[in-house]
A = this chain, B = another copy of it.
Amino acid sequence: MPAKSMEDLKALCKRRGFIYQTNEIYGGLQGLFDYGPLGVELKNNLKLAWWRSMVHERDDVEGLDAAILTNPNVLKQSGHEDTFIDPLVDCRSCNSRWRADHLKKSTCPSCGSKDLTEPRPFNTMFKTNVGPIEDGTSFAYLRPETAQQTFTNFKNIVDSTSKSLPFGIAQIGKAFRNEITPRNFIFRVREFEQMELEFFVEPGTDEEWHQIWLQERLNWWSKQGIPEKKLDVYDVPRKELAHYSKSTIDIMYKFPHGTEELEGVANRTDFDLGSHTKNQSELNIAAKVIKNSSSNAKLAIQDRETKSWTVPYVIEPAAGVDRGVLAVLNEAYTVQKLKDGKERIVLSFKPHLSPIKAAVIPLKKNDKEMVETASSLKKKLQNLNLGRVLLENSGNIGKNYRRHDEAGTPVCITVDFQTSEDKTVTIRERDSMEQERIHLKEVPDHLKEKLK
């Protein structure tokens, strides 16, 4: 049962420490957010789930973590300098600026005036001066996607790992886009994180791999708590395709503000390696690429028998980490009517995504014996390496249960007066709210079972 509104979600995120507006004490900075104590754990858990499924569990994918600052040559050859553009309009009445294709009516959303300029191109890449010379000759872009450094490292990675086709390179990292009108909480922001796989295949096998990866990705989201029935698959019409794409399938989710893209799975053809390779004319490149006279590397794979060179095609499943967090939060958000007529909010995360795996609570704050028992139990559970286990020494058990319902903690464990007598503790389960007493010795196995 998703949240009723984005405002509900935002309020919970701030109250419990998932997500704050950045630099809020100075009035913020539009389209930028900070992940608080619970948010950073949730985000890290989602990224880890992706990395495990993409890199650790496969033998045909390698990882990469490249720099954000990018040589302008890379983004000239990739086509971003020419095409990474949004249509910008000015309101002549109040001087505000808007993205033309996001306006629902041709009136200014700020003052209502219809006196808008014609749309003109605005490149959404951030630039910064690099080095001590400030005359504009030496600058870098903040990468608009992680993908380009994957392509420029293609030869390095093939050389160090001896990979042969098909194989992939996975990367998680920040990317930046100077959105004209950032909006919808962490959905459309200026600084965001991506999880991108570039999967290199033999030309001719690309359409088959495109379908395989689409299904893989739907399965993966389902494991993160977003079942396939909540996802739409949108085959992007030809005229809306990005300049590099032969075909793109978007995985759409119903966010609180509307149905939008959660992940895109694109068939990028041989456009990328073809754009960044030297000796383009010898390589029989199918895509239309910009002439490259700067690259010093041949980005192709040689057949061991025929000795001929092939520029691989690329299938790219590209997911937004922040959009993923938003979707996971929204799906987990549940308001329940309780028997006593009250309500509770609970985040029913899949346990592997929960920011805190278990809270250990001494019933009486600062009671020496209870705190010692709780503290030693926390340490034992923490050492299982299942994720964060928290000792809550604040004494109000009801308040702690409410807090951990809203944090999505699967299990609360209470140490009380009886514990010193019979070595039992109370285990309270998040979703059912059922409580049972078990022996201290049984707690580690109980937790492992719950988190499976």
Binding site for B on A (CB under 8 A): 14-17, 20, 22-30, 32-41, 43-44, 55-57, 59, 62-71, 73-74, 88, 97, 122, 126-133, 140, 142, 149, 152-153, 155-157, 160-162, 174, 176, 178, 180, 190-191, 276, 294-297, 299, 378-379, 382, 385, 387-391, 393-394
Contact = CB atoms under 8 A, between A and B. Distances in A.
Nearest to A387: B56
B97 A59 contact: no
Contacts of A74: 23, 26
A389 B67 contact: no
Nearest to A41: B63
Contacts of A67: 22-23, 29, 32-34, 191
A191 B140 CA distance: 12
A140 B65 contact: no
Nearest to A71: B23
Nearest to A160: B17
Contacts of A37: 62-64, 157, 160-161
A437 to B, nearest CB: 24
A30 B156 contact: no
Secondary structure class of chain A's binding surface, majority of residues: mixed
A444 to B, nearest CB: 15
Nearest to A25: B297
Contact of A29 (B71, B126, B394): B71
B161 A25 contact: no
A102 B26 CA distance: 36
A126 B142 CA distance: 11
Interface centre among A22, A39, A174 (most CB of B within 10 A): A22
20 contacts: A17-B156, A17-B157, A17-B160, A22-B69, A23-B71, A23-B73, A24-B297, A25-B296, A30-B131, A34-B153, A40-B64, A41-B63, A55-B388, A56-B389, A57-B379, A126-B129, A130-B178, A131-B180, A132-B178, A132-B180
A258 B245 CA distance: 49
A134 to B, nearest CB: 9
A40 B25 CA distance: 35
A296 to B, nearest CB: 6
A69 B191 contact: yes
A388 B170 CA distance: 14
Contacts of A34: 64-67, 149, 153, 156
A129 B178 CA distance: 9
Given A28-B71, A71-B28, A152-B25, A35 B65 contact: yes
